[in-house]
């Protein structure tokens, strides 16, 4: 890893991992609704949410999935990485005040194509809230 440049494809190997964590606030959910246009009342209206199985407002799944993007774009592989694909399985809700920890772990490196495959997991404590797999294009020292 180079200062502010992240990892090059030559640096990656299975098991290399990085994480990003954030506590989800009411303001985060409200701003995500405004930016995304997803105004589902389960995210924005406490009275509505109380009538659902969740019993309270929950964060948009894609808000938490965005924390995976934060890892890939800023930490590992980092700046210059290009997000190519992502699978997501939403396993549990994220509520206001939950601290979400997104971790990306390299599972495969395809050096001739400058690609890396990573397992992607978001957790609140020990509870997996999202799991999936990403593929990214990674910069090379050789360019």
Lowest mean pLDDT among 4-8, 16-20, 52-56: 4-8
pLDDT reported for residue 2: 47
Q: Is the pLDDT assigned to residue 142 strictly greater than 90?
A: no
- The DSSP bridge partners found for residue 87 are 133
**Among 69, 51, 62, 74, which Cα is nearest to 29's?**
62
Q: How far apart are CA 65 and CA 73, in angstroms?
A: 13
Q: What is the mean pLDDT of residues 15-30?
A: 98
- Report the mean per-residue pLDDT for the chain: 95
Dihedral sign, CA of 94, 95, 96, 101? negative
Q: Structure pTM?
A: 0.93
H or E element in which residue 21 lies: strand 17-23
3-state SS class at 41:
helix
Q: What is the mean pLDDT of residues 36-59?
A: 97
Q: Where are the alpha helices (DSSP H) in 17-143?
A: 26-36, 41-44, 46-50, 61-74
Q: Of how many residues is the chain composed?
A: 143
DSSP secondary structure code for residue 98 in this structure: P
Domains delineated in the chain: 9-137 (3.10.129.10)
**Among 87, 73, 89, 91, which Cα is nearest to 137's?**
73
């Amino acid at each position: 890893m180079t200062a502010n440049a992240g990892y090059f494809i030559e640096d990656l190997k299975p098991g290399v991992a990085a994480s990003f964590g954030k506590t989800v606030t009411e303001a985060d959910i409200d701003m995500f609704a405004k930016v995304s246009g997803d105004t589902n009342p389960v995210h924005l209206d406490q009275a509505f949410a109380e009538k659902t199985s969740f019993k309270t407002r929950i964060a948009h799944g894609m808000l938490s999935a965005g924390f995976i993007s934060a890892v890939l774009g800023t930490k590992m592989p980092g700046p210059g990485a290009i997000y190519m694909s992502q699978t997501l399985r939403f396993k549990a809700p994220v509520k206001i005040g939950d601290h979400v920890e997104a971790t990306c772990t390299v599972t495969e490196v395809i050096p001739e194509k400058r690609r890396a495959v990573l397992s992607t997991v978001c957790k609140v404590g020990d509870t997996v809230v999202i799991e999936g797999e990403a593929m990214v294009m990674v910069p090379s020292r050789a360019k």
